[in-house]
Amino acid sequence: MTRRLLTLSLAFAILLAPFGPAVHGKKKPDQTPDKVKIEVETRLRKKEEHVKIRLRRITQTTDNGFTVIEDKSGTRTEIAYADVSNLEGRGMSKTKKTLIGVGIATGVFIALVAYALTHFWD
């Protein structure tokens, strides 16, 4: 019985190995200025005003950008779309939440299978 459980555990480990942290180590390519502009306009239209911004560099302020207001001090900063390498909203994305849910469901399923193997096949 222990041999079956060990074999099953190793099989699950081999199947789930490609979903480990090494797979998620890839860096996303920078968004183009057009995509950043569309994302900013969409978020503003949906009243999703809080964002996390990663800047490559700021050389000057132009009309081809947007304004960020800091919550605590009220400081306004204008940022050009071309200077933004990535734009994300607050919190976890729906994809991350879905993956966490799938991971939890998989863990529960594996636990149930292990329980069934140890208690019902003797």
Q: Are residues 58 and 36 in the same domain?
A: yes
Q: Are residues 85 and 49 in the same domain?
A: yes
Domain count for the chain, please give it.
2
The answer as to whether 73 is a domain residue is yes
Q: Are residues 78 and 111 in the same domain?
A: no
Section 17-42 average pLDDT: 71
Contact 89, 48 (CB under 8 A): yes
- Dihedral sign computed on CA atoms, order 34, 37, 41, 46: positive
**For position 104, what pLDDT does the model report?**
93
- Mean pLDDT, the chain, whole residue set: 76
Q: Are residues 81 and 108 in the same domain?
A: no
Q: Are residues 111 and 122 in the same domain?
A: yes
Strand partners, 69: 76
Distance of CA 48 to the CA centre of its chain: 17
The answer as to whether 16 is a domain residue is no
Q: What is the pLDDT of residues 76-110, one digit of tens each?
A: 788 888 888 777 777 777 888 899 999 999 999 99
The answer as to whether 4 is a domain residue is no
The answer as to whether 76 is a domain residue is yes
Alpha carbon distances (Å) from 76 to 67, 88, 98, 104: 6, 19, 35, 42
Q: What is the pLDDT of residues 55-77, one digit of tens each?
A: 665 555 567 888 877 777 777 78
The domain in which residue 111 lies consists of 92-122
